[in-house]
A and B are shown apart, each in its own frame.
Chain A
Amino acid sequence: MSFMNLSYRYKVPLWGSFLIVVSALAVSASFMLNAYNKLENDLAIESEQLGYSLKSNLFSAMLQDDVWRAFEIIAEASQRPASARVHVESMVVVDNALRVVVSTHPKETPMLTTMGELGAEFRELATRISVMSGEQAKTVYLRHSKHYYSLTPISKDNTRLGTLVIVHSRDVFLPLYADSAWDALSVGGLILAILLPFNWYWGQRMALPLVQLAARMEQLGKKWPEKLDPALYEYHDELGSLFEAYHHLLKDLKAKETLEARMVQSERLAALGQLAAGIAHEINNPLSGMLTAIDTLKYHTDTSPLTQKTIALIERGLNQVKETVAALLVESKVKSRTLTPQDIEDVLMLISPMSSRKALHIAWHNSISEEIGLPATCIRQILINLLMNAIKAAAHQGEVACDIGIEAAQLRISVSNNGKMLTEEQIAHLFEPFAAFSEGGHGLGLWVTYQVVQQLGGNITVSREMKDRMNFRVTIPIENET
């Protein structure tokens, strides 16, 4: 799997860590390089100063060909105090012909030998010396050499007698450099120790909302994603906007789904209503005929007792059919008087006996104070149906709340009760006739209520409130007939 396909959760911290490590390395390397150059420079300066301090005495010793004095000068100068940073391994004085005049280690660098005979490094030094001009000392670092060399012209008044070669061991260089390098590495380490955990935390912190958002976006269309903790990301940058957009999207989708579900439900209920009304009409016509015929037949005296009995049986059956059909045929358009506050208070009176049987507490709130342009019969029917259902569903000694009022030119009825809760499945089919969950009754109460509300151009919804409370809400637009 390529790095780029990794989760942001790892990619962001990893990428950050990589950059931090690179930066820390670069900083450390620059420190180390700096320390290296500084050390080289310092050692060069110290060595050149040493050479410079000797050159005047060496000049006069060479001028007088006083080999022994020259030897004593360089031998004494080679004995550096233990505290000195620059230690001298050996010193060699060469003349202008690049021959050894004197050296602190005559056995290795015998007097009068030419530099060319003293090995590759001295040969290289010889070429460097031959191109040197002026009185300026020079420090030479040769590649792969265990030594470094400081070359000091032994000159006075532009007269050069030779060159002092100070040989230093690079062995002292490394411990000195290790000190500086260790400092540099510590700085790098410190940077890493501070930035890496911070980066990891920050990277995770940045990536986590994105990761969770992505996971939820993936779930969209398959199922409703889990809820996203709003505290996960509460800033208003681009990521914050993404979160807001996601929440909007989710809200829109939910609203759309609810709307679709409601449309499906109302279409189904409308179809059912039409079907029921159609069947009811079709049944009503022959039923009226049959009932008239039975009625006529009843008054014929020559019928046997068995026939009489049968007729009575048929009549009862037909009457039941009539009642049922009448119940299915919701007719709200019947002319009715308008609703008065007293009509609503009457309902309370009507249901009181039922509620007291279950010792229920009725929280009644009616804010209607004047006549409203809505058919009183229909509204009363709606209210009675809802309240009876609520009383039926309420637990013993439970509570039924009823709130009636006017809001934005709409009559608003809210009936709620505690007790048995309806499932989502039940809610989906609540307003259909002969609903399977209906206990007692013909299961047409809510169907009728729904039909009446629909015919009045209103809306009925049911929702679960809190943990144990079902709430039916009805809104009906008030026609301003006055």
Chain B
Amino acid sequence: MKLLSLLRIFTLCWTLVSGMALAEPATLRLGITPAMAHGQYALLEEWRSYLQAKLGRPVEFIFRNSYQEHVDLMKLRKLDFSWLSAPAYLESRPYCKLLATPLFQGRPYERAYLIVSADDHTTHSLLDLKGKIFAYADPSSNTGYLVPLHQLQQAGMDSGTYFRKTFFTRDHQKIVAAVAIGLADGGALSGFFWEVLDQSRPDITRQTRIVSKSAEYGMPPLVARSTLNKQDFALMQKVLLNMSTDSEGIRLLERLKLNGFAKTSDRLYRNVFLMMKREGKL
């Protein structure tokens, strides 16, 4: 109840602010989740400035904890773009459309990594972690939740009782930390984030062991709300796709550990879609 009233006040304020700014070109708002931000706020600020310059429009990054909140904001037209997880995108397809998919190692794919502590030499698959403590990334995450859940389902296990305790860290890289310090016995996360962390903090990744890597799935896409006008959609898409063509864009992409953005279709997320179907999430 409290949260709802707070949200109402917030919305009211926001309407007032945007009303006052009517004379200026409308601000483009991009939603970022902790999973995507993973603490690199300075880098995100640079990216925001870059986008602002390229778009010729004010750009605002909106940070919300969960994908679901982003979808809600898009429904309310409070958010123009969002970097969603694949399941979150698929779930809220009527409200948003695919804008671009980031390229990791030149391809728009990622894998789910199952990791355990480096001291754990007995775990060879998810099925060895029965009754243990397990860390997920986010309930809306593909690699950080849906994939291991689906694997359990496939093995005929009840994911609700299989682990003794589960928790969410929201940030994929924190899964590595949780497993490394022993808070969780195992965790599932996007291989992209593990590899990125492995480059910047090998001391942390070294404390974990990758038990298995899943099949490939589409990278979390950038989406636009379906109600957004075509010009803004096209403008943003163009700027993103062209990032890898100018030096500043390349520099930013390097720091984001991406190769660029690609125009993709829902086909890329078919595997995820099927998994969700099987899990009864769609």
Contact = CB atoms under 8 A, between A and B. Distances in A.
Interface of A: 65-68, 71, 102, 105-107, 110-112
Nearest to A101: B165
Main secondary structure of the interface of A (DSSP, over half): loop
Nearest to B171: A68
Contact of B182 (A66, A67, A106): A106
Contacts of A107: 181-182
Given A102-B183, A111-B183, A68 B135 contact: yes
Contacts of B182: 106-107, 110
Interface residues on B, range: 10 to 19
A111 B185 CA distance: 10
Given A106-B183, A111-B165, A68 B178 contact: yes
Interface string B159-171: 0000011011110
Nearest to B178: A68
Contacts, number: 30
B38 to A, nearest CB: 13
Q: Is the interface of B mostly helix, strand, loop or mixed?
A: mixed
B133 interface: yes
Interface of B: 133, 135, 164-165, 167-170, 174, 178, 181-183
A66 B174 CA distance: 14
Contacts of A110: 182
25 contacts: A66-B167, A66-B168, A67-B165, A67-B167, A67-B183, A68-B135, A68-B167, A68-B168, A68-B170, A68-B178, A68-B183, A71-B178, A71-B183, A102-B183, A105-B181, A106-B181, A106-B182, A106-B183, A107-B181, A107-B182, A110-B182, A111-B133, A111-B165, A112-B164, A112-B165
Contacts of B165: 67, 111-112
A78 to B, nearest CB: 12
Nearest to A65: B167
Nearest to A72: B174
Contacts of B183: 67-68, 71, 102, 106, 111
Given A67-B167, A111-B133, 8 more contacts: A66-B167, A67-B183, A71-B178, A106-B182, A110-B182, A111-B165, A112-B133, A112-B164
Nearest to A107: B182
Contacts of B181: 105-107
A109 to B, nearest CB: 10
A166 B165 CA distance: 24
A110 B165 CA distance: 12
A102 B135 CA distance: 13
